[in-house]
């Protein structure tokens, strides 16, 4: 959620094309199979980030947004992007959130709370019509890149219930299964976060 927000605040043309850095995710990571040097639009990378939780898309976005003078290496650019995430968390008043990765893996000092996740999701949904639209998709087709890719939203409540319109799932060994969900029905919006389920 924060990776998407930082990207959207720094890239205003979703047709901008990013080049995948030399990043090789672990086989168990969720990914869309980006090859080093492959070029994909920011819009498609964000869809890959939000629907199937593609780690390679997250790393691509973080590297390309985070690089700049003094941050040209993969590690330096991603570290700069993570610093941007933490600045944004502070500005949103997320007092119990800290990032150490743009991917959301189990790494030291990477944590959040249900309350902070709900606040972040609410901010994302109200400040980005694009993000609000894509997290409500049950599936999507990514047409940029070396091949056409069909991705499915891991939040399978979207598509099963017409009033559920987002937002994001996650899973790691330490965090368990996580769902930040959004629904709109009878004039009322509800956003919730469920963390640490088996």
Q: What is the pLDDT of residues 85-142, one digit of tens each?
A: 999 999 999 999 999 999 988 889 999 999 999 999 999 999 999 999 999 999 999 9
- pTM of this prediction? 0.94
Q: 187: how many CB neighbours lie within 10 A of its CB?
A: 5
Tokens (6 digits) for 133: 């639209």
Residue whose entry in the numeric block shows the structure tokens 């009878």: 186
* Whether the Cβ atoms of residue 115 and residue 96 lie closer than 8 Å to each other: yes
Write out the two tokens for 3: 């990776």
Q: Which helix (H) or strand (E) holds 183?
A: strand 176-185
pLDDT at residue 150 in the model: 97
Distance between first and last Cα of the chain: 22
């Amino acid at each position: 959620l924060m990776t998407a927000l930082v990207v959207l605040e720094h890239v205003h043309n979703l047709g901008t094309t990013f080049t995948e850095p030399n990043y090789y995710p672990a086989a168990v990571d969720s990914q869309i199979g980006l090859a080093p040097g492959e070029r994909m639009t920011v819009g498609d990378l964000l869809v890959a980030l939000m629907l199937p939780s593609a780690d390679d898309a997250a790393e691509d976005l973080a590297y390309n947004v985070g690089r700049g003078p003094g941050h040209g290496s993969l590690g330096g650019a991603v570290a700069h992007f993570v610093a941007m995430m933490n600045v944004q968390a502070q500005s949103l008043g997320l007092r119990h959130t800290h990032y150490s990765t743009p991917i959301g893996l189990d790494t030291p000092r990477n944590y959040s709370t249900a309350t902070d996740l709900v606040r972040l999701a609410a901010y994302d949904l109200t400040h980005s019509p694009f993000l609000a639209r894509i997290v409500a998709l049950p599936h999507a087709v990514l047409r940029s890149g070396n091949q056409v890719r069909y991705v499915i939203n891991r939040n399978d409540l979207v598509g099963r219930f017409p009033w559920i319109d987002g937002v994001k799932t996650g899973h790691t060994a330490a965090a368990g299964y996580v769902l930040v969900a959004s629904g709109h029905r009878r004039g009322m919006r509800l956003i919730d976060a469920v963390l640490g389920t088996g």
